[in-house]
């Protein structure tokens, strides 16, 4: 007769707990918005297919493995789909106009994903880059589809923010974590437009009569396709605008997660919980601004200069001071008086 070790039993319980949480989260997303949840599942499958291509296709496009971009986009879109479906579960669709707006939002999300993923996949199959590519009319056409679609998605998310701002939440701290998380995500989306601007090198080349084949870049101070970090491909020799884009987009996961954790700290007053949510959110927004500034200065993420380090230290200190003040007895009294209007 075999004897189970306590460690094995604990590992089994941990695995069961993780599966239960995943199942519960999936059910929550499905009940909130089934079409977008299906989109998340489809994009998870797409990501796995791109991974197969990444492992089996030796081609290099613009200095990176051919299927790396579809792989990264698959992860990003699947994460967004499940996250936004979860957020939609907290929207109170009591008014007919809100229900209609949410239906439109749902199909915009699905349509935009198709308009992004199909051109990216087509270009990988053709062996050319998808973004910034205007070498042929067909390349320009596909780039235009992606540009228009992401702009529509940005506007749709802005409308969703307006609905969340209009809505009242019983738990103010958690409600603001949803709003602020989505607002910072929209700001993160907007940093992508910085990549579409022509670089000084491109402008100089055109002025000398060179053909216009590439407009924009994600690297600053160096050419795209140079040495980069593992998996992400972020430049290790110059600035990279994909970094603030990435950090900003994932506010949709980080801020509500922090807000959910803070809202369960019932030993704190409602004012303290709300203050902590704002502190975390503003600190995160400061990080988005910081890495954007660093990238625009042509500086690699892993090689910050003294000015960048000093700015980060200041941001961290301000966030910690705000947190300490909020948790202090004085902060507790001030926030309580503010909450009660006294």
Q: What is the DSSP string of 199-225?
A: PHHHHHHHHTT----B---SEESS-TT
**The pLDDT of residue 302 is above 90:** yes
Residue 133's SS3 state is strand
265-297 pLDDT tens trace:
989 999 999 999 999 999 999 999 999 999 999
pLDDT at 342: 46
Q: Half-sphere exposure (CA, 13 Å, Cβ side) for 86?
A: 19
Which distant-in-sequence residues (6+ apart) come within 8 Å of 226 by Cβ?
63, 219, 235, 237, 238
| CA 13 remoteness from chain centre | 32
CB 273 within 8 A of CB 173: yes
Give residue for tokens 């660093």: 294
CB 270 within 8 A of CB 169: no
CB contact burial 39-59 (16+ within 10 A = b; e otherwise): bbebbbebbeebbebbeeeee
Closest CA to 296 of 184, 200, 213, 221: 221
| CA 110 remoteness from chain centre | 17
- 239's enclosing H/E stretch is strand 239-240
pLDDT at 13: 58
**The pLDDT of residue 38 is above 60:** yes
At residue 240, φ and ψ (nearest 5 deg) are: -145, 115
pLDDT tier at 15, thresholds 50, 70, 90 = low
Which distant-in-sequence residues (6+ apart) come within 8 Å of 302 by Cβ?
229, 236
**The pLDDT of residue 120 is above 70:** yes
On average, the pLDDT of the chain sits at 91
pLDDT tier at 10, thresholds 50, 70, 90 = low
Weakest-pLDDT range from 5-9, 36-40, 310-314: 5-9
170-212 pLDDT tens trace:
899 999 999 999 999 999 999 999 999 999 889 999 999 999 9
Closest CA to 142 of 156, 124, 158, 155: 124
pLDDT at 18: 78
CB 292 within 8 A of CB 244: yes
Q: Mind giving me the DSSP string for 263-291?
A: HT-TTS-HHHHHHHHHHHHHHHHHHHHHH
**The pLDDT of residue 340 is above 80:** no
Which whole number is the average pLDDT over 312-337? 93
CB 40 within 8 A of CB 74: no
* Pure H helices in the chain: 6-32, 34-56, 68-88, 96-126, 137-166, 172-190, 200-207, 242-249, 251-263, 270-296, 306-327, 329-340
Share above pLDDT 70 across residues of the chain, in percent, rounded to a whole number: 94
Tokens encoding 37: 């949840």
**The pLDDT of residue 70 is above 50:** yes
- 60's enclosing H/E stretch is strand 60-61
Sign of CA dihedral 55, 59, 65, 66: negative
pLDDT tier at 44, thresholds 50, 70, 90 = very high
pLDDT at 63: 86
Closest CA to 288 of 176, 190, 219, 197: 190
């Amino acid at each position: 007769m075999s004897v189970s070790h306590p460690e094995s039993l604990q590992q089994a319980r941990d695995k069961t707990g993780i599966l239960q949480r995943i199942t519960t989260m999936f059910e929550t997303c499905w009940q909130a918005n089934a079409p977008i949840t299906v989109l998340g599942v489809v994009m998870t499958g797409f990501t796995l297919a791109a991974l197969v291509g990444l492992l089996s296709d030796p081609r290099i496009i613009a200095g990176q493995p051919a299927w790396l971009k579809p792989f990264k986009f698959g992860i990003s879109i699947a994460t967004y789909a499940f996250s936004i479906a979860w957020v939609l579960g907290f929207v109170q669709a009591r008014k007919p106009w809100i229900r209609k707006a949410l239906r439109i939002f749902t199909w915009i999300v699905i349509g935009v994903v198709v308009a992004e993923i199909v051109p990216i996949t087509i270009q990988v199959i053709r062996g050319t880059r998808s973004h910034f590519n205007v070498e042929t009319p067909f390349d320009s056409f596909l780039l235009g589809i992606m540009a228009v679609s992401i702009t529509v998605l940005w506007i749709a998310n802005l409308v969703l923010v307006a609905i969340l701002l209009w809505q009242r939440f019983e738990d103010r701290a958690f409600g603001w974590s949803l709003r602020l998380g989505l607002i910072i995500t929209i700001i993160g989306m907007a940093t992508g437009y910085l990549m579409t601007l022509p670089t000084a090198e491109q402008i100089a080349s055109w002025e000398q009569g060179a053909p216009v084949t590439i407009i924009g870049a994600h690297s600053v101070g160096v050419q795209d396709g140079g040495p980069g970090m593992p998996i992400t491909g972020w430049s290790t020799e110059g600035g990279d605008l994909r970094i603030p884009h990435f950090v900003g987009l994932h506010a949709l996961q980080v801020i509500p997660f922090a807000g959910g954790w803070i809202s369960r700290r019932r030993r704190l007053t409602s004012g303290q919980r709300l203050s902590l949510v704002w502190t975390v959110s503003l600190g995160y927004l400061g990080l988005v601004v910081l890495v954007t500034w660093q990238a625009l200065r042509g500086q690699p993420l892993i090689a910050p200069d003294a000015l960048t380090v000093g700015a980060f230290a200041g941001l961290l200190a301000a966030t910690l001071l705000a947190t300490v003040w909020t948790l202090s007895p004085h902060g507790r009294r001030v926030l309580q008086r503010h909450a009660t209007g006294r």
